[in-house]
Amino acid sequence: MTAPAELSPTLQLACDLIRRPSVTPVDADCQAQMMNRLGAVGFQLEPMRIEDVDNFWATHGTQDGPVLCFAGHTDVVPTGPVQQWQHEPFEALIDADGMLCGRGAADMKGSLASMVIASERFVQDYPDHRGKVAFLITSDEEGPAHHGTKAVVERLKARNERLDWCIVGEPSSTTLLGDVVKNGRRGSLGAKLTVRGKQGHVAYPHLARNPIHLAAPALAELAAEHWDEGNAFFPPTSFQISNLNSGTGATNVVPGELTALFNFRFSTESTVEGLQERVSAILDKHELDWSIDWALSGLPFLTEPGELLNAVSASIKDVTGRDTQPSTSGGTSDGRFIATMGTQVVELGPVNATIHQVDERILASDLDLLTEIYYQTLVRLLA
């Protein structure tokens, strides 16, 4: 373990945040620590506790000019079996291989530390910078996400706040820091399908209607359907059945009902309404007695090459020597809520190889490089 006095300011802050067991939606005073530091360099602070979720909005600068927002979350997923970890998950130590170990190191307390330190340095070096530097931080990204970034964005919209650019600190890198940034995400549309039949005795199938037999051809057709071609930024829309449930537990009873859970990860080439209509048409084609409950987790969004992506890519190149690859792969993030403000959104953070895993860890030195990337991006856009 590296002695605390030998750590950079970024690593000191990252370790402090990791040592706070902020499992969703608990914040464990992570945000208080961040706000204390930002307030000390002149940021205007606005805590926003919504229901059981801690959030905050902080700004530095003037109303004139563009707004660059850093967004992220202080909450982490549960550790899983603690005995399976090589080190205590909230101990926050740097091992002999130079890896910063602990829950949240990659997702995403390391990024939060880099954002804060980069912003402290920037507003001290450029006190009269143009526009605003902003922070939008939540403790409800890993959970339901109803009272976190989504709710804060609704408040910001209601008072006509503007966000031109946003960097979300999600762990975007694949193998080396900065090799990939996310410039968009697919939409996520989930559904619970209920197909009704008629319960009966298996020995008298003519007196029953088996919903498993009835639904199987329709589900097979849905799974085989080609939904769209994707485009230059997105792969084709995918459909996956994640759960099937039917039966009474007895081998001699035809069940009366089947439920199926499925999900679309969809590109900008498809719409929610279009996918729903096509699903309905296939189910009706098979003459099923069906109903469906839809759940939209987020719409697809895309930041095409422009000021933000160019600034981030140039900063990565200067700091690491690497050419970054924009990508829209992966799951959803809070960027989907921020993008509804018409904001250019890019996700940039550490290597994501161990996120949500036992023994989550990242290369400690990457956080100092990430701080410099964030700082140079601020300079390019707001100095």
pLDDT digits 0-9 by tens, 164-197: 999 999 999 999 999 999 999 999 999 999 999 9
Q: In the beta sheet, which residues pair with residue 239?
A: 264
141: annotated active-site residue: yes
pLDDT digits 0-9 by tens, 301-340: 999 999 999 999 999 999 999 999 999 988 888 999 999 9
| Confidence (pLDDT) at 330 | 84
Among residues 319, 305, 328, which one has the least CA distance to residue 378? 319
Choose, from 120, 140, 141, 142, the residue flagged as catalytic.
141
Strands (E), 84-232: 93-94, 99-101, 132-138, 165-168, 180-182, 184-185, 187-196, 200-201
pLDDT digits 0-9 by tens, 97-120: 999 999 999 999 999 999 999 999
Six-digit token pair at 343?
């904001």
Share of residues in the chain with pLDDT > 90 (%): 96
Average pLDDT over the chain reads 96
Q: CA–CA separation, 212 vs 258, rounded Å?
A: 6
| Confidence (pLDDT) at 118 | 98
Choose, from 75, 142, 161, 164, the residue flagged as catalytic.
75
75: annotated active-site residue: yes
Confidence tier at 5 by pLDDT (50, 70, 90): low
Q: Per this entry, what is the length of the chain?
A: 383
What's the angle, vertex CA 6, arms to CA 3 and CA 139, rounded to 5?
80
Arithmetic mean of pLDDT, 201-211: 97
312 CB contacts (<8 Å, ≥6 apart)?
167, 181, 324, 346, 348, 373, 377
> Does the pLDDT value for residue 1 go beyond 70?
no
Per the CB < 8 A criterion, the answer to whether 74 and 112 are in contact is yes
Span between the terminal Cα atoms of the chain, in Å: 38
Arithmetic mean of pLDDT, 358-364: 98
Confidence tier at 348 by pLDDT (50, 70, 90): very high
pLDDT digits 0-9 by tens, 228-274: 999 999 999 999 999 999 999 999 999 999 999 999 999 999 999 99
Which sign does the torsion angle of CA 324, 327, 331, 332 carry?
positive
Residue 325 exposure: Cα atoms within 13 Å on the Cβ side: 9
Distance of CA 198 to the CA centre of its chain: 42
Six-digit token pair at 226?
């080609």
| Confidence (pLDDT) at 2 | 52
Q: CA–CA separation, 37 vs 137, rounded Å?
A: 14
Arithmetic mean of pLDDT, 70-75: 98
| Confidence (pLDDT) at 64 | 87
Q: What is the pTM of this model?
A: 0.89
